Amino acid sequence: MVVVTIEQRRKMAAIILGYEARRDASGRLAVYSLPAEDGGGTYEVAGINERYHPMEAQELADLIRSGRHQEAEDKAIAFIKTFTDSVVGWAETASVEFYLRDTAFNRGPRGAARILQRAVGVEDDGVVGKDTRAALRTAEREPSKLLRALREEREGYERNVVGRSETSVFWKGLVNRWNKALAAAETFLEPADAADHNEKASAGGHGLTEVARLAAVSATMPIPLDEAQVMLKLVQDYVPIGNHNRPGTKLTATSITIHNTDNTSKGANAAAHAKYMKGADAQKRQVSWHFTVDDEFVFQSLPTTEIGWHCGKDEGNHTSIGIEICMNSDLNADAAYDRAALLTAWLAYRLKIQVPVGVMQHRDWSGKDCPSVLRADNNKGWIKFIGQVTDFHSRLRPVESPDIDPPADDHHHSSA
Ligand SMILES: [Zn+2]
């Protein structure tokens, strides 16, 4: 049964427009001159180029030049929808249809058909017939798994059919596009469909967390530092300067120490621990640490350049950043450990702390049975956690940014 609505299809085209559009400083669609080697003619608007779509490109360029930007925007969405309607009738789920539309916009209907065929394991002749449809129906029973297969085959097609390699200047942009489209496709998943890659989240009625999604996609997918930070949902809620448990002693961290809160009360989440750390009891007991992680947020209570009191030993406190992972009874544990692993990897990457040797248990310093959850069952959880930290760490990348050349009369260097 086809359940994709017109409104969803318009939204899909609008998302693709978002990937393709070049915009002016006011965010309006712009006409973009193509370099000679592009092969798409002399100009394009939103990926719609003069050579292959002369009438449409002309119409959009005329609207933009006469200042009718909103009309151009609507037209561009309509064109993208029409160009990618060739995939209608292949998939029966919105998420898969979106991914195929995006693929078709980049690689044409035939390329999209071949990528689909490779993903569902039938001969890739570029013609979607009875066999392809039958295989697709079966694969669509697990749409999120199929989406990941399509993402992998998009890459495989580029390598093996188009003959493009990772050394190509376009490669990074392509990888980024495939991954962004995958994340967008997942937003079209029905809640029940999301179950096949995160049973717990679905059982609890929660949506998939972004970090879980990240863990689920290809192990080779790079993670830019800024995207990691957005996914962490880091809230800075520092212990006030002058409080007894924020001594302000300088820290140059060479390790990260992992703890479990040992507080299973309902609501004992990251925000609650951050609040606790600012109060009288934490000062009296002389405890403080840098980060508390739950299934939704990371709360930061101390700067990473100041020591905390979380190791039970001076040596640890003076060399290590402390991360507490929550254990409240209403916690989605998988989501919390995913987030804690990403936080650990992200800190290690930025502060040049070695992975995995620089990731410690509280027990390594003082002998206390902490992190108790990860240590249970002969360190069963710890082994998995360290694997995840190592995986995330290997995938982190610096933020993509151009080199700039500041003007000679540097107005940023005020003498005042
Ligand atoms: Zn501890």
For residue 303, the CA-to-ligand 1 centroid distance in Å is 19
Q: What are the Cα distances from residue 344, in Å, to 251, 261, 314, 340?
A: 17, 16, 21, 6
| % of the chain at pLDDT higher than 90 | 65
For residue 229, the CA-to-ligand 1 centroid distance in Å is 24
**Same domain flag for 23 and 66:** yes
Q: Which of 3, 39, 47, 60 is nearest to 21 (CA)?
A: 47
**Same domain flag for 307 and 162:** no
**Same domain flag for 174 and 245:** no
Structural domain contains residue 223: no
Structural domain contains residue 412: no
**Rounded distance between C-alpha atoms, residue 129 and residue 319, angstroms:** 63
pLDDT tens sequence across 16-30? 998 888 888 888 899
**Rounded distance between C-alpha atoms, residue 365 and residue 230, angstroms:** 32
Query: Span 397-409, mean pLDDT?
Result: 78
**Rounded distance between C-alpha atoms, residue 221 and residue 176, angstroms:** 9
* Residue 257: DSSP 8-state: E
Beta strands in 271-371 (DSSP E): 291-293, 298-300, 320-325, 359-361
pLDDT of 204 > 90? The answer is no
For residue 215, the CA-to-ligand 1 centroid distance in Å is 26
pLDDT tens sequence across 327-353? 999 999 989 999 999 999 999 999 999
**Same domain flag for 121 and 193:** yes
Q: Which amino acid is at 205?
A: G
Q: Which of 47, 158, 50, 159 is nearest to 112 (CA)?
A: 158
**Same domain flag for 114 and 167:** yes
Q: What is the pLDDT of residue 167?
A: 86
Q: What are the Cα distances from residue 208, in Å, to 51, 100, 138, 189?
A: 42, 22, 23, 10
For residue 408, the CA-to-ligand 1 centroid distance in Å is 52
**Same domain flag for 235 and 296:** yes
Structural domain contains residue 1: no
Answer yes or no: are the C-beta atoms of 73 and 6 closer than 8 Å.
no
**Same domain flag for 332 and 193:** no
pTM: 0.53
For residue 204, the CA-to-ligand 1 centroid distance in Å is 28
For residue 198, the CA-to-ligand 1 centroid distance in Å is 28
**Same domain flag for 15 and 145:** yes
For residue 350, the CA-to-ligand 1 centroid distance in Å is 23
For residue 370, the CA-to-ligand 1 centroid distance in Å is 5
Count of domains for the chain: 2
**Same domain flag for 266 and 175:** no
Q: Which of 87, 81, 156, 93 is nearest to 121 (CA)?
A: 156
For residue 391, the CA-to-ligand 1 centroid distance in Å is 24
For residue 103, the CA-to-ligand 1 centroid distance in Å is 48
**Stretch among 22-31, 243-252, 302-311, 339-348 having the lowest mean pLDDT:** 22-31
**Stretch among 33-37, 154-158, 184-188, 361-365 having the lowest mean pLDDT:** 33-37
**Same domain flag for 279 and 238:** yes
Domain that holds residue 61: 6-209
**Same domain flag for 45 and 194:** yes
* Residue 224: DSSP 8-state: E
**Rounded distance between C-alpha atoms, residue 394 and residue 55, angstroms:** 46
CATH code assigned at 177:
1.20.141
For residue 308, the CA-to-ligand 1 centroid distance in Å is 12
**Euclidean distance between the first and the last CA atom of the chain, given in angstroms as a whole number:** 70
For residue 310, the CA-to-ligand 1 centroid distance in Å is 6
